[in-house]
Every structure is written in structure tokens, then in C-alpha cells.
């Protein structure tokens, strides 16, 4: 998992950037999918395939509630790794 860092007042953006997201319920599912495609196409067009986004789904709401506890723990651990 990669994240944006700051060195000497400059942002260091990796070629593969991990972006966490929470997929909405109801209409949010369709919007999330469409938005991800638009962002991926834009990044590919601008950087000509040299950079891309790695999406990390963060569970929230009913989706998180219905997951077994071990899967919720794994998802939380992945998000904590990004915060460090």
C-alpha cells in the first residue's frame, strides 16, 4: 500500500497510490463504480499508464456489520497501515 508523503515541503506521490473508499448503500454502489472508472481513465490519460490507483474498500454501515469479525479486523488493519 502506497500513500502520499511530504519531504522538504514537496509532495512525493507514488506511481501506484492506494485510496481508501466506502461504498454507499442503495444508489451509492452505482455512483462509486462509475466514479472509480472516471478517475482511473483520467489518471491513465494524463500519465499514459505510468501511474494508477489501487482502491482499498473500507467497510462501513450494514456491509461492515454483516461481515465476520475476522474480516472486519483485516480491513481495519489495512487502513491502519495507511495511517502510519
* Closest C-alpha among 51, 11, 75, 13 to residue 3: 13
- Provide the domain limits for residue 23: 5-83
18, 3 in Cβ contact below 8 A? yes
Task: State pLDDT tens for residues 43-58.
Answer: 999 999 999 999 988 8
pLDDT digits (tens, 9 = 90+) for 29-42: 788 888 899 999 99
Q: Does the pLDDT value for residue 3 go beyond 60?
A: yes
Highest-scoring range by mean pLDDT, 11-20, 23-32, 60-69 = 11-20
Q: Which of 72, 78, 71 is nearest to 56 (CA)?
A: 78
d(CA 15, CA 3): 10
Amino acid at each position: 500500500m502506497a500513500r502520499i508523503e511530504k519531504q522538504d515541503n514537496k509532495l512525493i506521490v507514488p506511481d501506484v497510490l492506494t485510496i481508501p473508499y466506502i461504498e454507499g448503500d442503495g444508489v451509492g454502489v452505482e455512483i462509486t463504480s462509475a466514479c472509480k472508472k472516471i478517475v482511473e481513465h483520467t489518471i491513465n490519460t494524463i500519465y499514459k499508464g505510468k501511474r494508477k490507483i489501487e482502491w482499498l474498500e473500507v467497510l462501513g454501515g450494514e456491509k461492515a456489520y454483516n461481515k465476520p469479525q475476522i474480516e472486519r479486523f483485516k480491513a481495519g488493519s489495512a487502513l491502519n497501515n495507511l495511517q502510519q
